[in-house]
Chain A
Amino acid sequence: MSLEEQELDELKYKIGRNPTSTELQIVAAEWSEHCSYKSSKKHLKMLPMKGPRVINEKGYDSGVLDVGDGYVVTAHIESHNHPSAVEPYGGAATGVGGVIRDILSAGTRPIAIFDGLRFGDIEKDIHARWLFKNAVTGIADYGNCLGIPTIGGEVEFDECYENYAMVDVAAIGFGKKEHLIKNHAKKGDIVVLMGGSTGRDGIGGSQFASDSLESEDRSAVQIPDPFIEKLIIEAVLQARNDGLIHAMKDLGGGGLSCAISETADALEIGIEMDVNKVHTRESDMHPDEIMVSESQERMLIVTSIAKLKKLQEICKKFRIGCSVIGQVKSDNQVHIKKGKKTVANLAADIVANATLLDLPSKEPTYLKTIEIEKKFKPVSDYSKLLMKLIASPNIASKIWVYGQYDHEVGIRTVVKPGTDASVLRLDNGKYLSAKIDGNPKQCYINPREGAIGCFEEACRNVVCTGAKPIGMLDHLQFGNPKDPEIFWTFLESLKGLTAFAKSFEIPCVGGKVSLYNETPAGSIKPTPVIGVIGLIDKKPSVPQKISKDDCLLIIGDTKDELGGSEYFEYIHKFIGGKCPTVNFEDSKKHMKSVLNIIDKNLIKSAHDCSKGGLAIAVSEICMTNQIGCKVSLDKVPGEKLDVDRILFSESHSRYLLSFDKKNLSKIEELLKKNKVSFKQIGQFGDEKIQFIYGSKSIINLDLKKTHRIWLHALPNLVLHGKKSVQ
C-alpha cells in the first residue's frame, strides 16, 4: 500500500505534519482508485441520478427506488475481477458477499443476485476453463447458502480476457420504505463492528483492485464464509425491525479505514475508535493491518448505548461477533487509538475525499480503420454454419451455469432464467424484472454506441417480460485510465449511457467503476455492463408454449451492422466493421408497442434479437418451445442485404413476437398505428428450424439434434474439453 509521491506531499500539506504509518495506510486505502473514484468521479456526475421513484439518502451504498404501496427496491452492482483472476472460487464468492452487504446496509432484504461472467477463449485456453468453472462454483456456493436466488446474468468469452476474469455481481433488495435506514448519528452514539473476525486476509485488496495484475499482492486472497453472511443478514434485519440501527455501512474495499472515514464524512461526525476492541482472528495484528484488513462478512453499525444490549443479544442468538469499537464525536475527526495511544488522527473529509483527477483523453488510433470490412470466403453451407454458431461458447445454452444456482428460493421467481429477463413477484402485487448485459466486442469497435447498445439490450430484455424500465445500474470496466486512449473510451461510453438515460428518462440508481483491468497482453476491451430494472403493474408476460401454426413477427429493421457480431468474430475471426447503433426514436416506439401488445394479452411470448442475430433468436425460440419454424428472410424489414447479413446482423431495437394467428390483425393494426417497421416473417410447426429466401432453402436444421447440441455444448467443453461441432 502506498501513496504516490505527490499524493504524499498533498497529505502532508493538508495535515501540516508528517503522517503516522497508520495514517498512511488509511489514506492509501481510501485514496485508491477503487475507494475514491479519483479518475472517474468528476465525469460520473453527468449521469442522471434523479427521478420520481429515486430515494436519495446520505451514505447509501445502493440505489433505492420507490415501487409504491410503501415498498422500495434497492439495487447495486460490483465486480471482483482482480481477486477472481487469482482465486476464481473465493474471488467470485466474496464478490457476491460484498454486493449483498451493500443491499443490506440500506435496511432491505436481498432478494436476487445477477452475475456477469467473462473469461478468455475457453475453446483453446485451459486456464480460462478453470477460471470459469471455479467462478461459477464460487457464486453458486455463496448465493445458494445465503438462500438468495441467482436469477440471471450472462456469460461471455473473448480473447481479450486471457489470463483474466471479469466477475460482475448485481443484487436487488426489497423492503418497506419505513424500514430504510436513515443514516444519522449523534455525539455519544457508539460504533459497533459486527460479523466475522478481522484477520490478515485481503490485506492490500482494494489497492490490488487498482493495480494491474502483474504487480499484484498475492496475499490478497479472501476466503468466503457464506454461513456467517447469512447470519449477519438475519441479525441485521432483526436489529432493523427493532429500530436498533442509527447508521450502517458494510465493510468492503479498504476495510475499516474506508468504512470509518466514509461514515464520519457522510454523517458529518467524528469517530474515535480503538483497534484493541476489534475482534481479530490472530492475536498479534498491527493497527495498520487491522485498519486495512479486508476480511469479509463484517458490518459497521452506529447505535446508542441504550440499544446496545438488545443488539448484543441478537448477535449472540446468531452466534456472530459484536464489538463496540468506538464512539461518535462532534469534531469530524477520524481518531484511531490503540488502547490509550493515538495511532491516527485525521479530518474525515481529508481522508474521504481524495483530490479528483482530470485525466487527459485522446481518441484511440485503432478506431480510425476499425470500420473497414474485409472480404470473407463465401459461405457454402448455412445449416452447418448456424449449427457451429449454436454450439459456440457465447451462444450455447447457459443452463449449465444457472442450473447450479438456486433460482427459486424465496419463492418469488415468476419468470425463471433461460429466456430474457427474469421476473420476481413483490409483496405489493407488482412484479420486478431485471437483466444485466454487456457487449465488449461492440464496445471495442465503438465505445459510445456499444455502451448504448448494452443499455438498450438490457431494456429490451426487461420489456420482453412486460416491464417498463425504471432504473439502471452501470458498471464501467476499463483498462489503465492513465492511458489517454483508454480514458477516451471510458468517457465515450459514459457519454453514450448518459444520453440514453436522459432521453429515456431512466435514472441511474447505482454503479461502479473498475479500472486497471489489464492482462499481460494489454488492456481488456471496454466492458461496460448495464443492469436494468423494470416494473410490471399488472401481470408479467410469462412465456406460453408456442404451438403449430402460431405466427412469428419481427419488429424493427435489420441493418448492415455486423461489427462485433458473433458471426464476424467467431465464424470469420474478424474484429471490425460497423457496430450496431440505436435510433432513440425507433427504440422508444418499439418498447412502447411491445409493452402495449403484452398489456393487451395478444402474444404468447416476446424475445429480443441480440447476440447471433435473427438466426440465433429464432433458433432459441424454437429450441425452448420444442417446435420448428419456417422463416422467410426476404420478408425481413430493412434495407436489402445479403443473406448472411440478414441472418446474423445484431441490429438493436428488434423483437420477435410469437402469437396465435387469430391475433395477427390486431397486432398489425397496433403496430401500424404506432408507425413501427414490422413484418410477419414465419410460422411455427414441424420439427425443423428453417430459413428460406423466396423459394430457396437456406437453412434446414433438425430441431431435436440442434437442441441437444445447444444444451450440452458448454458442459462438454468445460467438463470434458470436448467441442460439440467442429
Chain B
Amino acid sequence: MKVGVVVFPGSNCDRDMYHVLTDVFNINAEYFWHEKGLPKNIDAVILPGGFSYGDRLRAGVIAAHSPIINDVRKMAEKGIPVLGVCNGFQILVESGLLPGVLLKNESLNFMCKWTNLIVENNKTPFTNQFKLNEKIPIPIANGEGRYYVDDDTMKELKKKNQIVFRYSEVVNGSTNRIAGVCNEDGNVVGMMPHPERAVESDINPVDNKPSSLIFESLLTKMGVSK
C-alpha cells in the first residue's frame, strides 16, 4: 500500500505527516510536488497542512487551481481515500471536493491549542476504528478554521451523514462546532485539527491512542493489519 503526500509551495506539515506515516505506522509514503501528476498505483492521498501560497487571497484557493488537484479529483471519484488536514482541508473545500467554506476564526487570530473532537461518523476510511461519539484529544493550529455552510447545505450534510468530527466545545465559531466533514461517498475527508501532531506519546500531553485510530482506520480500510 502506498500513500501520496501532496506538497504545495508553502505546505509546512508535509514532513510531519510523512514522518508519522512512515516512522510511526510503517506505511509506504511518497511526496508529490503540486506540478506533478499522481501515479495510478496510489492507494490514498493526503493533503497536509501549511500555508500554500502564503494563504494569499484566501487559504487554499490558489492551491486549489494546481494541476495535481485534477488527479486528486479523479482519484476521489474512483473512491480512493483522500484526507485533507488544516490547509489540506481548506484546499479540498476551495476545489469543491468538499462542501462549505473555512472563514477567519471568530477571534480573528491564529489559534494554536489543544481541544477535543467528537467522532460523528465512523464509516469513513479515516474513522472506521472509532466508536461513535468517541473523544479525541488533538491540537488545532489555524487562522481560517471556522467552518461555515448555509442552512440548506447543512440539512444535506446531516441527512447524508457528512459531518465527521465536531469540537466538544466552542472553539472558533464553526457552524454546529463542525471540525471535519466528508463528501457524499465518505471517501474524501477534511479536518482542521492535526492528527499527525497527536499520535506520538512524547508530544501528546493527554492521550495519543484515539488520534492514532485515524491512521489505523486507513490501514484497516486497506486491509493492512498493523
Contact = CB atoms under 8 A, between A and B. Distances in A.
Q: Are any A and B Cβ atoms less than 8 Å apart in their complex?
A: yes
Interface of A: 137, 140-141, 144-147, 225-227, 230-231, 317-319, 402-414, 416, 425, 542
A670 B205 CA distance: 29
B203 A230 contact: no
B16 interface: yes
Contacts of B111: 403-404
27 contacts: A137-B109, A144-B51, A144-B143, A145-B51, A145-B55, A147-B13, A225-B54, A227-B9, A227-B51, A227-B54, A227-B56, A230-B51, A317-B33, A318-B9, A319-B9, A403-B113, A404-B109, A404-B111, A404-B112, A405-B112, A406-B112, A408-B194, A408-B197, A409-B197, A411-B196, A414-B203, A425-B202
Contacts of A411: 16, 19-20, 196-197, 200, 203
Contact of A404 (B10, B54, B110, B203): B110
Given A140-B109, A227-B53, A230-B10, 7 more contacts: A145-B12, A147-B12, A227-B51, A230-B51, A403-B111, A407-B112, A411-B200
Of the candidates A146, A147, A410, A425, the one having the most CB atoms from chain B within 10 angstroms of its own CB is: A147
A409 B110 contact: no
A141 B205 CA distance: 26
A575 to B, nearest CB: 34
B12 A146 contact: yes
Interface string B188-219: 00000010110010110100000000000000
A412 B33 CA distance: 24
Contacts of A144: 51, 110, 141, 143
B153 to A, nearest CB: 30
B16 A409 contact: yes
Contacts of B56: 227
A414 B205 CA distance: 8
A140 B197 contact: no
Contacts of B113: 403
B81 interface: no
B139 interface: yes
Given A230-B51, A411-B200, A542-B205, A406 B9 contact: no
B50 interface: yes
Contact of B12 (A230, A416, A542): A230
A183 B72 CA distance: 43
B225 to A, nearest CB: 25
Contacts of A407: 112
A406 B55 contact: no
Contacts of A402: 112
Interface string B40-74: 00000000011101111000000000000000000
Interface in B112-129: 112-113
Interface in B4-33: 9-10, 12-13, 15-16, 19-20, 33
A307 B171 CA distance: 50
A319 B54 CA distance: 13
Given A144-B143, A145-B54, A425-B202, A231 B109 contact: no
Given A409-B141, A413-B203, A231 B9 contact: yes
A408 B55 CA distance: 19
Interface of B: 9-10, 12-13, 15-16, 19-20, 33, 49-51, 53-56, 109-113, 139, 141, 143, 194, 196-197, 200, 202-203, 205
Given A227-B56, A413-B203, A408 B112 contact: yes
Contacts of B112: 402-408
Contacts of B205: 416, 542
Nearest to A415: B205
A145 B10 contact: yes
Contacts of A318: 9
Contact of B10 (A231, A406, A409): A231
A406 B54 contact: no
Nearest to B16: A411
Contacts of B10: 145, 227, 230-231
Nearest to A425: B202
Contacts of B194: 408
Contacts of B49: 409
A144 B140 CA distance: 13
A405 B109 CA distance: 10
A165 to B, nearest CB: 20
A223 to B, nearest CB: 13
Contacts of B203: 408, 411-414, 425
A437 B143 CA distance: 29
Nearest to A229: B54
A133 B163 CA distance: 36
Nearest to B113: A403
B107 to A, nearest CB: 9
A408 B54 contact: no
A169 B58 CA distance: 28
A406 B141 contact: yes
A408 B139 contact: yes
A488 B200 CA distance: 51
A230 B196 CA distance: 21
Contacts of A146: 12
A319 B62 CA distance: 15
A510 B32 CA distance: 38
For the complex of A and B, list the 4 residue pairs with the smallest distance between their C-beta atoms, beginning with the closest: A147-B12, A227-B54, A145-B51, A406-B141
A406 B111 CA distance: 8
B109 A409 contact: no
B59 to A, nearest CB: 11
A319 to B, nearest CB: 6
Contacts of A413: 203
A140 B141 contact: no
Given A318-B9, A406-B112, A409-B13, A414 B202 contact: yes
Contacts of B33: 317
Of the candidates A140, A317, A410, the one having the most CB atoms from chain B within 10 angstroms of its own CB is: A410
Given A403-B113, A408-B197, A147 B139 contact: no
A237 to B, nearest CB: 11
Of the candidates B19, B33, B50, B56, the one having the most CB atoms from chain A within 10 angstroms of its own CB is: B50
A146 B33 CA distance: 18
Nearest to B11: A147
Of the candidates B16, B109, B112, B139, the one having the most CB atoms from chain A within 10 angstroms of its own CB is: B112
Nearest to A226: B54
A141 B112 CA distance: 12
Nearest to A231: B9
Of the candidates A226, A231, A403, A411, the one having the most CB atoms from chain B within 10 angstroms of its own CB is: A411
A8 B160 CA distance: 78
A409 B143 CA distance: 14
Nearest to B194: A408
A466 B13 CA distance: 29
Contacts of A405: 110, 112
A414 B203 CA distance: 5
Contacts of A141: 110
Contacts of A147: 12-13, 50-51
B48 to A, nearest CB: 10
A403 B10 CA distance: 22
A524 B139 CA distance: 39
Contacts of B141: 144, 406, 408-409
A146 B194 CA distance: 17
B169 to A, nearest CB: 15
A17 B16 CA distance: 58
A559 to B, nearest CB: 36
A377 B194 CA distance: 53
A140 B12 contact: no
Of the candidates A137, A406, A413, the one having the most CB atoms from chain B within 10 angstroms of its own CB is: A406
A137 B19 CA distance: 30
Nearest to B202: A414
Nearest to A402: B112
Nearest to A109: B15
A409 B113 CA distance: 12
A144 B50 CA distance: 8
Contacts of B13: 147, 409
